[in-house]
Structures are given as structure tokens and as C-alpha cells.
Structure 1
Amino acid sequence: MPGARVTSGERVTLRTVESEDVPFLQRSVEPEIRYPLGNPVRNREGYEVTGEDGTDRFLVCLEGSDTDPGQPDDGDVRRIGNVNVTDIDYKRPELGYWLVPEVHGEGYGKEAVSLAVEYAFRQYDTPAVGAEAYDYNDASRGLLESLGFTEEGRRRKFMFVDGEHRDMLQYGLLREEWRERDE
């Protein structure tokens, strides 16, 4: 069952990851969900859920307004994705995210990433957060840009995907840009 509620938006909730969630999170290596960005594939025992590796991991969930904020029943929560805040201990936090294909295009990703950005700026004394997206991933690039992220760089021919080397775009969002967006 998913862990405690960390934060909620209008439609999605970010919850802590528990060991029971690992099989769901391992779906992130499925090509229809996302291409790995260099993260190692791990078995259940090797998947770190505690955050001791400098990563805050959250389940993106859909749930009713009367769902227990602490430890909900498994049937009361629908897992639809994952948001990570990585590199929190030694450089600016980087966001990673994915959603199951069944909910693509419904705005859940934008809301979940927005909640993760707010979390990162609230929890950490960082001047900026970053994220990456492949050059061909128009949906992910559009999501980041809609939240105010600016393209900061390009890693040319960074990863071999579907028979060709693809560029990776680097994005950043400054704390003051995020705050000005809210005003």
C-alpha cells in the first residue's frame, strides 16, 4: 500500500514510496512509459525506497477526498506514476517523472511535477531545480516549459534510443522564477 501523503493538488497526491510499491515503480523501464536516462535496472531487493541515496521518491496517486492521509487501504488509491527529486545532497535537485500510458494527456503530469517543484523549494535551500527531456519528447518538454523551466543546454547524441543517438535537453527553473509565476 502507498505510504503517507506528502502533498496534494486538485487531482493528484504525492505519497511516500513503500516496499510494496516497488513492482509498480519497476515499470519505469518499460519503453512505452519512458526510456531509462542511465538509471540502473534494479531487482526488488536493490531498489532503495528510503531516500538514503539522496533521492526523494513519490508515488503519483489518484484518490478520493476521504482517503486516509496516513496509510490508506490499497483499494482507495490508484498509482499512476512516479516523481523523483534526486541529487539533493550535493548539487541542485533534479526532477524525474513518468506516468502510466493510460493517463497521458490528462494534465496529471503537470500537476504532479508542479507539486514536486514546490516540495523541492520548500524542503531544500536551493536556488534552482533542473530536469532533462529527450529532444523528441515533445510532451515532456512542453510540460517543463509550461511550468516555467528554461532550456539551459543540450547533450548532443547523449543516448542511443531506437537505433539512433538522441540529444538530451537540460532544463532549469530558478526559485525566483517559480515564485513570480505564483504571483
Structure 2
Amino acid sequence: MPGAYVQRGERVTLRTVESEDASFVQRAGTNPEIRYPLGNPVMTRATHEERIEDDGDDRFLVCLDGDDADPATDDENVTRIGQVDVVDADYKRPELGYWLVPAVHGEGYGTEAVALALDYVFREYDTPAVGAKAFDFNDASRGLLESLGFETEGRCRKYMFVDGDHRDMIQYGLLREEWHERG
């Protein structure tokens, strides 16, 4: 089950990813509806467990907490619906990555989860900006970033071979002051 909550919004909660969550993360990562838009390779549960334990990045489960959910402990009233990652926050400009299970796409949970992650990053790290990437064909992800104030910073042409084609990757950035101006 997910760990303690890190950040709570109106509808979603970001909770710590625990080693027991590796099977959820792996199953989602093998789903073509998620994996292809992310461009992620298929990984074993053991690889996911190693990443959870050793990589030093901030990884959060996106959860729907029931009314009786305990904010500090694992709880049966918590439903995992996705993940938000903050990569390289202690090394260089943090980079966000995120995904949700297809059953909840289009309901606004992703926008809320990424906004919570941005609040977290700008509170916990002294960084002037946050980055994110989306494939040019991933209109939903690009729309999410743009709705939160991210600006296009560049295009990596034919960046990665995904689902049978070489795909362009769009680089986005959001400055700290831009985020704070949004309120």
C-alpha cells in the first residue's frame, strides 16, 4: 500500500512510493496506453523495486483517499491511480514525469497531481525552474503542462523510437516566479 501522504489536494493525494507498490508501477508501465505515450521500456518488478529503493529521486503515488483514509499510514481506503516523479531535484533543474491509469484519464486528476508536485518542488528545493517533456503526439500531456503555465522551450526531433515511429519530444519549462504569480 502507498505510504504517508506528502501533499493533499481537493481530490488527490500524493503519497510516498513504497517497495510494496512496485507491482502497481510495473503493471501500469506495461500498459500500452501508458507506456507508449511515455516512451518507457518494459521493466521487471525487481528493476522497479531497485528504482524505488536506490535512485534518490522523489517518486509519489497519485491516490484517491476515501473518507476514512489515514494520512500517516498505509490504509485500505486508498486507491492508487498514477505516479508523479521529480527527477534530479538535488542535482540540477528538476524534471517532472507523470502518468495515470487510463480509467481516470480526462477527469482532471493529472492536472491536480502535477500542481501538487510543483508546490512540493518549489517548497522543498531552491530551484529557479522545473522542466517536463512530452511527445509531440501526446496532446493530453502537452495540454496539461500548458494549462499549468509551462512554456515550450524546445523540440528534440526524432528523439525516440516509440510505437513504430521516431517521435519528436517537446521540452517545457516553468519558472518559480511564473508559478507563484499564478497563485
| Fold shared per TM-score above 0.5 | yes
- The alpha-carbon deviation at position 38 of structure 1 amounts to 6.2
Determine which of 67, 70, 78 is the counterpart of 1:68: 70
Aligned residues: 180
1:123 aligns with 124
Task: Identify if the C-alpha distance between structure 1 residues 176 and 53 changes in structure 2 by more than 3 Å, giving closer, same or farther.
Answer: same
2:103 aligns with 102
CA separation in 2, counterparts of 1:56 and 1:49? 9
1:53 matches 2:55: yes
Q: Is the 8 A contact 2:68 2:77 kept in 1?
A: no
- Considering only aligned residues, what root-mean-square deviation do their CA atoms show, in Å? 1.5
Structure 2: unaligned runs, 5 residues or longer: none
- The alpha-carbon deviation at position 39 of structure 1 amounts to 5.2
CA separation in 1, counterparts of 2:77 and 2:167? 40
Partner SS for 2:103 = helix
Q: Is the 8 A contact 2:8 2:116 kept in 1?
A: yes
Partner SS for 2:145 = helix
Alpha-carbon deviations, 1:60-117, whole Å to 9, x = none?
A: 00012431011132x3011000000001222100000000000000000000000001
1:14 aligns with 14
- Structure 1 segments, 4+ long, off by >4 Å, are 36-41
Partner SS for 2:32 = coil
1:1-40 counterparts in 2 under 5 A? 1-26=1-26, 27-35=28-36
Q: Is the 8 A contact 2:39 2:162 kept in 1?
A: no
Question: Sequence identity, in percent?
Answer: 72
Structure 1: unaligned runs, 5 residues or longer: none
Q: Is the 8 A contact 1:94 1:131 kept in 2?
A: yes
Q: Which amino acid aligns with 1:178?
A: W
Partner SS for 1:34 = helix
Q: Is the 8 A contact 1:13 1:61 kept in 2?
A: yes
Q: Is the 8 A contact 2:37 2:135 kept in 1?
A: no
2:179 aligns with 178
Partner SS for 1:78 = strand
Q: Is the 8 A contact 1:158 1:167 kept in 2?
A: yes
2:136 aligns with 135
